[in-house]
Amino acid sequence: MKRWLPLEPERFVLFPYENHDGKWRPIPAVKFETSYPKAWKYLLENRKRLESRESGKMMASPVWYGYVYPKNLEVMAKPKILVPAIATNAEYCIDELGKYYYVGSGGGGGGGHAIVTDKIDLQYLCGLLNSKLLDAFLQLITTPFHSGWFAYSKAYIAQIPIKLPATAEEKKLAERIARWVREIMDAKKKLRSSALSDRETRSLQGKVETCENRINEAVFALYGVDGLPE
């Protein structure tokens, strides 16, 4: 993943579940075979490996292709903010469509964390978390590693003070932050095009930098500080 916007996926996860009234259940074998024949063929080719997981735990299961320990399936399918488990600075990004899933561990660079909420605008929240002010706060309380890396774990992220706008002026600032985040995401999407000229690339990069600077200034204003301490 990358700051603000996830990378375009190079690998895809075969997710053998379907939604039933908000609950994720394994796709029945018959339906899997008829609806997704190529995926089913792939599973059959790897059946022995899949059944042998956890010392053969899945051998007796009719859904031997399912997850051994299915957890948080309903969470990962939602729009969310993603953050790697370790990073040198804030790398929060927004998964707008709920199509990115973690498959690695939560630490040691093998995974990350998902922030799911319907109580606050994701663009606004991502703007706060990626700001210099709140990232400086997190790096003061988190675990430092070698070569400038820090832990971005749930325990530390949960301690970050999130400003919920209350006054008319604060709400205006929050709306601007959310708008600038959307502009950054739009610019980053355009930067992925190989058809851009050097001038267009510089213009979009400048747009990202300008919006980030505006977000930082707005966050300073929201929290009533003049800037980062020297």
- pLDDT per residue over 187-199, tens digit each? 999 999 889 999 9
Question: Which of 103, 77, 95, 101 shows the shortest CA–CA distance to 22?
Answer: 77
What span, in angstroms and rounded, lies between the C-alpha atoms of 58 and 49?
Answer: 10
Flag whether pLDDT at 148 surpasses 60: yes
Flag whether pLDDT at 172 surpasses 90: yes
Flag whether pLDDT at 128 surpasses 60: yes
- Region of residue 139 (left: phi > 0; alpha: psi -120 to 50; beta: else): alpha
Residue identified by tokens 């042998």 is: 52
Give the pLDDT of residue 105: 54
Q: Is the pTM of this model over 0.75?
A: yes
Asked if 6 contacts 92 with a C-beta cutoff of 8 angstroms, the reply is: no
Flag whether pLDDT at 115 surpasses 90: yes
- Going from N- to C-terminal start, the domains of the chain cover 17-56
Over residues 50-75, mean pLDDT: 90
Give the pLDDT of residue 56: 93
CA angle 212, 97, 4 (to 5 degrees): 15
Provide the H-helix boundaries in 120-167.
122-130, 132-141, 154-157
Over residues 121-150, mean pLDDT: 97
* Helices and strands (DSSP H and E) totals, the chain: 10, 7
Question: Which of 161, 179, 160 shows the shortest CA–CA distance to 218?
Answer: 179
Give the pLDDT of residue 103: 64
What span, in angstroms and rounded, lies between the C-alpha atoms of 110 and 126?
Answer: 22
Give the pLDDT of residue 53: 93
Flag whether pLDDT at 108 surpasses 70: no
Give the pLDDT of residue 104: 58
Residue identified by tokens 């040691």 is: 108
Query: Which phi and psi angles does 144 have, rounded to 5°?
Result: -85, 145
Flag whether pLDDT at 229 surpasses 80: no
| Higher pLDDT among residues 76 and 185, named by residue | 185
The answer for residues whose C-beta is within 8 angstroms of residue 30's C-beta and 6 or more apart is none
What span, in angstroms and rounded, lies between the C-alpha atoms of 133 and 226?
Answer: 10
Over residues 53-62, mean pLDDT: 92
Give the pLDDT of residue 193: 86
